[in-house]
Chain A
C-alpha cells in the first residue's frame, strides 16, 4: 500500500511538472464556454442582402426600409440585373436578393395579390431556407398593415410555452455538450500517452520490475488525471452558472457522481489505447484526431441524432459521451432524479468495467 502511494505520488509529480499542459487543460474549457456563450449562435443574423427593384415606388421603398432596420439582414448596395446577383453571390458579399416586379406598388394598391421573387444562394441550404422565412414574415407583416380591418374568421391560436428554459437562453443546450466533449477528448488523450510514454522513453522496464500489480499501475496512472478532471468540472460548472447564467436544477451530488463515472470511462478508454499503441504519436492521433469529429457529430448536441441514417444511430450507442450528454441534460437542466437516468448510468458503468478489464488484459508485463 505504501509503495502504491509512493507510485501515485510519482505520477502526480509527472503531471504537475508540465505547466503548459495544465494551462491548456484549464484554458480549453474557459475558451469554449466563452465562445459558445458569446460568439457562436445557431441563429442566422446579419445576412447580406440586396434588392433588385424594378418598381421604384413607395411600397417597394417601404419594404426595403423594413429590411434595412431588421437585425437579421445587412442591406448592401442595390443590384440592377440577374447577372449582377450572380457576381455578388460569387464573391460572397450577399446571400440573397429580393426582386420587386415593376407593378409591385400598383398591384398592392388595388388590394390584390402580388408576387415577389427571393433569389437565395442555396449553396448554404440552412441560410437559404431561413432567408425565405424571414423575408416572408416581413412581407406578410407589411401586407397585413395595408388591410388592418380584415380579421380572419376562424382562428386556432397556439399559446406557446417554453419548458425548462423560459428565457430561451441559448447557452443551456451546449453546456452539457461542451462538458461531454472536453472530457471525452481531454481525459482520453491524457491517459492514452501515460503508458506508451514510459515504453517510448524506456522507463517501462523499471515499472515492470517493481512489485506492483498491473491493476495498481493502471489505477495509479489514472488517479492524478481523475483529480484534474474533477477540478476542471468544478471550473466549468462555476463558469456556466456565473458567466452564462445557467441554472442547475437537479441534485448537484448526482451530477457529480455521474460526471466522475463518465470521466472514469474516458480515462479507461485512454489506458486501453495506451496499451495497444507503440508510440505516443499514434496514441494521441487516435485519441484526438481520430475521436474529435465522431464525438462532435455523434454526441447529439450539434446535429440531432434522430435525423441521421440508422447506421449512425447504431454507432452512437457505443459513444460514451452520448449517454453522459443525456444524463447531464436531464439532471442539470430538467432537474430530474436518478430514476430517469438509471439506464444511461447502467450503460456507462458497464462501459467503465469492460474498458478497465480489457485494459488490464492488454497490459503487457513483458517488453517486446
Chain B
C-alpha cells in the first residue's frame, strides 16, 4: 500500500510541476465548454435567396415579401436573369434561386395554376433540403391565403376537405433550445479528450525519456504501477467533470434533473474505462507522437460514432453495433438522460454494466500489456 502512496506522490508532483499541462487540463476544456455550445447549432436559418422576377406583378411582389418576412430567408439579390443568379450561387452569396416566370399573375388568375422554378445549391444536403422544404411551405401557405382571397371575391367556396391538425407538445424542452442538448454532450467530449490524451501520453513519456527503467528495476508490481498512473488522472477527471457541471449551471442554467449521485457514479466508472484505454495505448506505443496519433484515431471514431453529431438511430445496423462498443456513446446517452430528463438508476442501469465491462477489459489489458522487461 505504501508503495502505491509513493507512486501517487510522484505522479502528482509531476502533474503540478508543469504549469502548461495544468492549464491544458483545466482551463482549455472549461473555456471550450463555455463558448462551444454557442457555435454548435444545427438550426437552419438565414438561407440566402437570389430572386429572378420576370413578372414584376403585384402577386409576385406579394409572394416575395411573404418569403422575406418568413424569418428563414434573406433576399440576397435581385438578378435580371437566371445565369446572373447562378453566378451569385457560385460565389456563395446565394443558396437558392427562385425564378418567377413572366405571366405569373395572369396564369394564376386565369388557369389557377402556375409553376415557379427553384434551384438549390445541393452540396450541403441538409441545408438544401430544409431550405427547399421551408420555401415550399411558405408557397403552400401563400396558396391558401390566395385561394381564400380569390374565393371571397366572387367564386364558390369549395367544400372543406377532411383535415388532421397536428398539435405538437415538446416535453423537457418546450422552447426547443439547442443548448440543453449540446452542453451535456460537449462536456462529455471534453472530458474524454482530456482523459484520453493525458493517459495515453503518460507511460510512453517515461519510456521515451527513459525514466521507466528506474521503475522497472524496483519491486513495484504491474498493477501498482498502472493504478499509480490511473488514480491521479481519475481525480483530475472528476475535478474537470465537477467544474464542468458548475459551468453548465452558472453559464447555461442547466441543472441535472436526475440524481447527482447517479451521475457521479457513471462519471467515476466511465473515467476508469477511458483512462484504461489511454494507458493501454500508452503501453503499446514507443513514442509520444505514436501514442498521440493512436489516441487521436480512437477519439475521432468515438466522437463521430457517439451520437453527438448525428443520431445513432439513423445509422445502419453494422454502425449501430460499432457505436455500442464505444464507451463514449453510453456515457453521452446517460448524461443526457440524467441531466435533461431526470432518468434514474432503474432506467439507465444496463448502461452501467456496459461501462463496467469496458473498464475491466481496458484496464486488464493495460496491466497485462505492461512489461517490465523489454
Contacts and interface: CB of A to CB of B under 8 A. Distances in A.
Contacts of B133: 133
Contact of B292 (A48, A154, A284): A284
A35 B35 CA distance: 28
A44 B309 contact: no
A108 B161 CA distance: 10
B255 interface: no
Nearest to A100: B164
Contact of A154 (B108, B319, B348): B108
Contact of B41 (A24, A127, A201, A307): A307
A142 B164 CA distance: 9
B102 interface: no
B267 interface: no
Interface stretch (B123-131, B222-230, B236-244, B268-276): B123-131
A281 B202 CA distance: 9
Interface string A280-304: 1110111011101110011000111
A114 B128 CA distance: 32
B301 to A, nearest CB: 6
Which of B32, B159, B300 has the most chain A CB atoms closer than 10 A to its own CB?
B300
A122 B172 contact: yes
A85 to B, nearest CB: 8
Contact of B126 (A42, A113, A144, A308): A42
Given A154-B108, A284-B288, A307-B45, A163 B119 contact: yes
Interface residues of B, number: 123
B1 interface: no
Interface string B300-318: 1100110001110111101
A6 interface: no
Given A117-B167, A123-B341, A293 B113 contact: no
B161 A173 contact: no
B180 to A, nearest CB: 6
Nearest to B313: A46
A214 interface: no
Interface in A5-24: 18, 20-21, 24
A165 B119 CA distance: 11
B166 interface: yes
B54 to A, nearest CB: 14
Nearest to A108: B162
Given A157-B114, A173-B123, A308 B41 contact: yes
Interface stretch (A215-223, A326-334, A347-355, A358-366): A326-334
Given A25-B293, A156-B143, A285 B197 contact: yes
Given A18-B290, A91-B343, A125-B173, A146 B162 contact: yes
B42 A143 contact: no
Interface stretch (A26-34, A226-234, A235-243, A255-263): A26-34
B314 A157 contact: no
B120 to A, nearest CB: 6
Interface string B259-287: 00000000000000000000000000111
A210 interface: no
Contact of B311 (A127, A201, A326): A127
Interface string A331-342: 001101000100
A139 B167 CA distance: 12
Contact of B181 (A125, A189, A285): A125
B24 A118 contact: no
Interface in A141-190: 142-144, 146-147, 150, 152-166, 168-170, 172-173, 185-186, 189-190
Contacts of B151: 153
Nearest to A280: B288
28 contacts: A21-B293, A31-B297, A36-B304, A48-B313, A89-B172, A90-B342, A90-B344, A92-B347, A115-B165, A115-B166, A117-B167, A118-B166, A122-B174, A128-B170, A150-B158, A153-B112, A154-B146, A186-B293, A201-B208, A281-B18, A281-B288, A285-B21, A302-B309, A303-B40, A307-B46, A312-B39, A333-B123, A334-B90
Interface of B: 18, 20-21, 24, 28, 32, 35-36, 38-46, 63, 86, 89-92, 108, 112-129, 132-133, 135-136, 139, 142-144, 146-147, 150-151, 155, 158-174, 176-178, 180-181, 186, 189-190, 193-194, 197, 201, 205, 208-209, 285-290, 292-294, 296-297, 299-301, 304-305, 309-311, 313-316, 318-319, 322, 333, 336-337, 340-344, 347-348
Interface of A: 18, 20-21, 24-25, 27-28, 31-32, 35-36, 38-48, 74, 86-87, 89-92, 95, 108, 111-129, 132-133, 135-136, 139-140, 142-144, 146-147, 150, 152-166, 168-170, 172-173, 185-186, 189-190, 193, 197, 200-201, 277-282, 284-286, 288-290, 292-294, 297-298, 302-304, 306-309, 312, 326, 329-330, 333-334, 336, 340
Nearest 5 A/B pairs, CB to CB: A122-B170, A39-B319, A162-B122, A45-B314, A165-B122
